[in-house]
Amino acid sequence: MTKVLVLQSSALNENSNTRFIANKLLERLGRDNALDVSTRDLAGKPLPHLNEATLGAFFSPADQRTAEQQQAVALSDELIAELLAADVLVIGAPMYNFGVPSTLKAYLDHIARAGITFKYTETGPVGLVENKKAYIVAAAGGIHAGTPRDFVAPYLKTFLGFIGIDDVELIQAEGMSMQDQKEAAIEKALDEIERI
């Protein structure tokens, strides 16, 4: 049984291109393996952004945290445990104003923890989240891939590599707000899924 963690960040719910494509990806993955899928809807249940109390708790040794600090890191600990328990990560990432939705950024901020998901060494940072496969399902209203305007896929690949997830596949659908492009873009994304 392959454990899959799906992160959905589109605020469009049933009208979301990334949700639609991610569901098609799950159908495809389910043909090869039995899947145990858990979904975290970051748009439906947004996470709080980091604040001074949470950051202070992150940087305090676990055995020296106050009760308030333990409470401040509890959500982050839960998110990290959920990630570490998964074999496969599927990230639905629409482009909002050239970047990822703030709800997805908040999630990433909560799971980037020195000494837990990465560590600094004399030769630079080393990711501690190992033996995971990740799929990024990215969609954009315009055409941005490979241009200086694309801060979604490169950012997510960099972040995932930073915490140790290097086996990353990108499924991209662009031109979703362009009537003459949308259908072809979805077909291309579905073809990419079939080739997995």
Q: What is the pLDDT of residues 85-99, one digit of tens each?
A: 999 999 999 999 999
Which residues contact residue 140 at a Cβ distance below 8 angstroms, ignoring those fewer than 6 apart? 94, 95, 150, 152, 172, 173, 174, 175, 176
Q: What is the pLDDT of residue 115?
A: 95
Binding residues for FMN: 10, 95-98
Tell me whether strands 35-41 and 2-8 are parallel, antiparallel or unpaired: parallel
Q: What is the pLDDT of residues 53-104, one digit of tens each?
A: 999 999 999 999 999 999 999 999 999 999 999 999 999 999 999 999 999 9
pLDDT of 136 strictly over 90: yes
Q: How would residue 182 be classed by pLDDT, with cut points 50, 70 and 90?
A: confident
pTM, to two decimals: 0.94
Provide long-range contacts, Cβ within 8 A and 24+ apart, for 175-179. 175/140, 175/141, 175/142, 175/143, 176/17, 176/139, 176/140, 176/141, 177/141, 177/142, 178/141, 178/142, 178/143
Q: How would residue 157 be classed by pLDDT, with cut points 50, 70 and 90?
A: very high
Q: What is the pLDDT of residue 112?
A: 98
pLDDT of 110 strictly over 90: yes
Q: How would residue 50 be classed by pLDDT, with cut points 50, 70 and 90?
A: very high
Q: What is the pLDDT of residue 180?
A: 84
Closest CA to 159 of 98, 117, 123: 117
Q: What is the pLDDT of residue 176?
A: 84
40 with 50: CB under 8 angstroms?
Answer: no
Structural domain boundaries of the chain?
Answer: 2-194
Which residues contact residue 141 at a Cβ distance below 8 angstroms, ignoring those fewer than 6 apart? 95, 175, 176, 177, 178
Which backbone phi and psi does 47 adopt, to 5 degrees?
-85, 150
Tokens of 188: 């291309």
What is 15-80 written as a DSSP string? G-HHHHHHHHHHHHHHHHS-EEEEEEETTTSPPPPP-HHHHHHHTS-GGG--HHHHHHHHHHHHHH
Sheet-wide strand order for 2-8: 35-41, 2-8, 88-94, 133-139, 167-173
Q: What is the pLDDT of residues 2-43, one digit of tens each?
A: 999 999 999 998 899 999 999 999 999 999 999 999 999 999
> In residues, how long is the chain?
196
2-194 maps to which CATH number?
3.40.50.360
Up-side HSE of residue 99: CA atoms within 13 Å toward CB?
7
Q: What is the pLDDT of residue 135?
A: 98
Q: How would residue 145 be classed by pLDDT, with cut points 50, 70 and 90?
A: confident
pLDDT of 179 strictly over 90: no
pLDDT of 158 strictly over 90: yes
In this prediction, residues 122-142 reach a mean pLDDT of 95
Binding residues: 10, 95-98
In percent, the amount of the chain with pLDDT more than 90 equals 86
136: β partners: 91, 170
